[in-house]
Structure 1
Amino acid sequence: MPPDPHPPGLQIQHRPLPYADRLQPRDPATIDLVVLHCTELPDLAMAREYGEQIVHPGSGTGNSGHFYVDRDGSVHCWVPVERTAHHVRDWNARSIGIELVNSGRYPDWWDSRRQAMTEPYPAAQLDALAALLAQLQDECPNLRRITGHEDLDTGTVEATDAPGTLVRRKLDPGPMFPWPELLARTTLARWFPGGAAPAPL
């Protein structure tokens, strides 16, 4: 009997976004990168509201990760890996976006006085993330790297409270994310895009 491809205890709730079938199809063999995000929103329900918004009128699609991991460890798939989700500039085609429910800088994302991210990531959430990464490695044969949204999107915007002052667009998953703990539980390699981009598959 072949081994169970799903790690014990991992249950994924599949609830595709209304526009999921309009997203660009792709071969999972072309995926080599996981991008970790945090929602910077108070809860999963509000993240769903944002994910369902149509922000790309030409294609009738919006911005969303593939998977959402809530604080209690529940895992939700809103975009199948066989579709290209809009979750990070310039890296969507080859990556899987995983969103961790975490308040981040909410609701003052671009207020220069409120850039600290102080909410920790609970153990149940990290356990579920590690199990999800293991499953994705089984499903995507060339998945080898992991990085943070903040490492790929380094753009700035004008602060809402101080015209002329720039703040980072994206800081997630942020300083509270325990990278050493996660990397000890996965064979994915932490990757920084400071050097040459990984070669196309």
Structure 2
Amino acid sequence: MPPAPLAVHVDPLPYQARLQPRLRAQIDLVVVHCTELPDLATARVYGERILYPESQTGNSGHYYIDRDGGVQRWVDTDRVAHHVRGHNPRSIGIELVNRGRWPRWLDADHQAMAEPYPDAQIAALLALLRQLRQDLPSLRFIAGHEDLDREDVPASDDPGQRVRRKRDPGPWFPWDTVLAQVALQRLPGPGS
């Protein structure tokens, strides 16, 4: 008997209709992120911010998974969300609620990511990935944000030091579990 469909709460961002449309057939990649924020409500505030005046859109993923396993879709898959430089037109962004390095993302002395991902959150991610595989036959690859955005930037607390701009989903993300249970190939990052 097939598993029950994943319950996804649809709550489109106010600017969703202004995001570039795309064909579902061009989607071959899922990028896993962590919000690096304290909670889902704060992530929503950040997601609604207009950062690109020409299009009146901002940065966001398509799906957000809270610590308790609740799944929300903020951007439809047939729209290009702004979640990872250079890969947006071909990818789905999935954000896992996790503090990451919050609130001092780029401080040289605050680069450790100490919050593990709860089992309920990973179970929901696996269910979502399986559903996306079913719905998007062209989906073949998965990557972490840190795999694709490897830029080093000056540390905010010591510009003489450099830190990784993006480190998510980070060292607590269970790559072995995810790759063993979902038929997606991990996409190597630039220079790998």
Please indicate the TM-score interval, normalised by the length of the shorter structure.
over 0.9
Give the Cα–Cα distance (whole angstroms) in 1 for the partners of residues 26 and 181 of structure 2: 24
Using the aligned pairs only, state the percent identity.
60
Q: Contact 1:55/1:62 (CA < 8 Å) preserved in 2?
A: yes
- 1:27 and 2:26 are equivalent in the alignment: no
- 1:128 and 2:124 are equivalent in the alignment: yes
RMSD: 1.4
**Counterpart in 1 of 2:58?**
62
Equivalent residues in 2 for 1:53-92, closer than 5 Å? 53-92=49-88
Q: Deviations over 1:57-92 (max 9, x none)?
A: 000000000000000000000000000000000000
Which one-letter code corresponds to 1:29 in the other structure? A
* Among candidates 170, 176, 179, match of residue 174 of structure 1: 170
Give the Cα–Cα distance (whole angstroms) in 2 for the partners of residues 45 and 156 of structure 1: 29
Unaligned 5+ segments in structure 1 are 197-201
Shift of 1:153: 0.4
Give the Cα–Cα distance (whole angstroms) in 2 for the partners of residues 34 and 73 of structure 1: 18
**Counterpart in 2 of 1:189?**
185
User: Relative to structure 1, is the Cα distance of residues 61 and 117 closer, same or farther in structure 2, using a 3 angstrom cutoff?
Assistant: same
Which one-letter code corresponds to 2:15 in the other structure? Y
Give the Cα–Cα distance (whole angstroms) in 2 for the partners of residues 157 and 189 of structure 1: 29
**Counterpart in 1 of 2:150?**
154
**Counterpart in 2 of 1:98?**
94
Give the Cα–Cα distance (whole angstroms) in 1 for the partners of residues 191 and 146 of structure 2: 16
**Counterpart in 2 of 1:199?**
none
Give the Cα–Cα distance (whole angstroms) in 2 for the partners of residues 105 and 87 of structure 1: 17
Q: Deviations over 1:90-127 (max 9, x none)?
A: 00000000000000000010110010001000000000
Give the Cα–Cα distance (whole angstroms) in 2 for the partners of residues 118 and 11 of structure 1: 29
Which one-letter code corresponds to 1:130 in the other structure? L
Q: What TM-score comes out, normalization by structure 2 length? A: 0.97
Give the Cα–Cα distance (whole angstroms) in 2 for the partners of residues 149 and 9 of structure 1: 27
Shift of 1:195: 6.4
Shift of 1:193: 2.9
**Counterpart in 2 of 1:15?**
11
Give the Cα–Cα distance (whole angstroms) in 2 for the partners of residues 51 and 117 of structure 1: 22
Give the Cα–Cα distance (whole angstroms) in 1 for the partners of residues 191 and 38 of structure 2: 35
- 1:145 and 2:145 are equivalent in the alignment: no
Q: Deviations over 1:169-192 (max 9, x none)?
A: 100000010100111110111111
Give the Cα–Cα distance (whole angstroms) in 1 for the partners of residues 144 and 86 of structure 2: 14
Give the Cα–Cα distance (whole angstroms) in 1 for the partners of residues 124 and 5 of structure 2: 9
* Among candidates 103, 107, 121, match of residue 107 of structure 1: 103
